A and B are shown apart, each in its own frame.
Chain A
């Protein structure tokens, strides 16, 4: 089974602070994704990457940056956290653009 891990698993942040969420995969996958999950909105794509050192904007990129320093690692950065960014964040990886996406366990972020 493909393995995707996320850290931290939960975090409390202050409004205006910087938050970094990390994702690590051991699947040798080229594609990695960041989604957020909110009640009433399902899962929405924030950023994705199909090769190291390159990232692309998803459907809701505003307020978020992404970094892919290596094939295995993909980070999501909130430079100035806001209340509206309280959500559960999921990282996923896949071997190709029509392949199964394997999700991590999620990070529960609370911005106060």
Chain B
């Protein structure tokens, strides 16, 4: 079973709209979360991390973490065509010092002009 599960698999929103992506960890040891974005033909690029309960906002991006349910979401406000990409949720362990990231399978976001 995938330790980090993302939904939906794909999402289409109009330009200027709000995109909401979801992620859940099934392993309580992995509760530090990252969001990465990957444009076609490029490597993933970190958008933001969230380690504490609640919201974290960076520009048009807001992440929300609920540690009790190990659920994290990413909301993209005022979506732009350049936001069209593959979005990964990744989790890292709260124990150990490897920095190992467990990735979900990703959500493909399409922003329609």
Residues of chain A touching chain B, judged by Cβ–Cβ distance below 8 Å, are 4, 31, 33, 40-45, 48, 50, 56, 58-59, 90, 92, 94, 96-106
Known contacts: A100-B49, A102-B46, A106-B42. The answer to whether A94 contacts B88 by CB under 8 A is no
B82 at the interface (CB under 8 A from A): no
Selected from B44, B45, B49, B92, the residue in CB contact (under 8 A) with A43 is B44
Residue contact A90 to B44, C-beta cutoff 8 Å: yes
A31 vs B97: C-alpha distance when bound (angstroms): 10
Say what secondary structure dominates the interface of chain B: loop
What residues of B have a CB within 8 angstroms of the CB of A42 in the complex?
88, 103-106
Is the interface on chain B under 10, 10 to 19, 20 to 34, or 35 or more residues? 20 to 34
Rounded to whole Å, the gap between the CB of A78 and the closest CB of chain B is: 20
Beyond A97-B97, A100-B34: 15 further Cβ-contacts under 8 Å? A42-B105, A43-B88, A43-B101, A44-B103, A45-B100, A45-B101, A59-B100, A90-B43, A94-B99, A96-B99, A98-B32, A98-B51, A98-B92, A100-B46, A101-B46
Instruction: Determine which residue in A43, A44, A45, A94 has the highest number of CB atoms from chain B within 10 A of its CB, and name it.
Output: A43
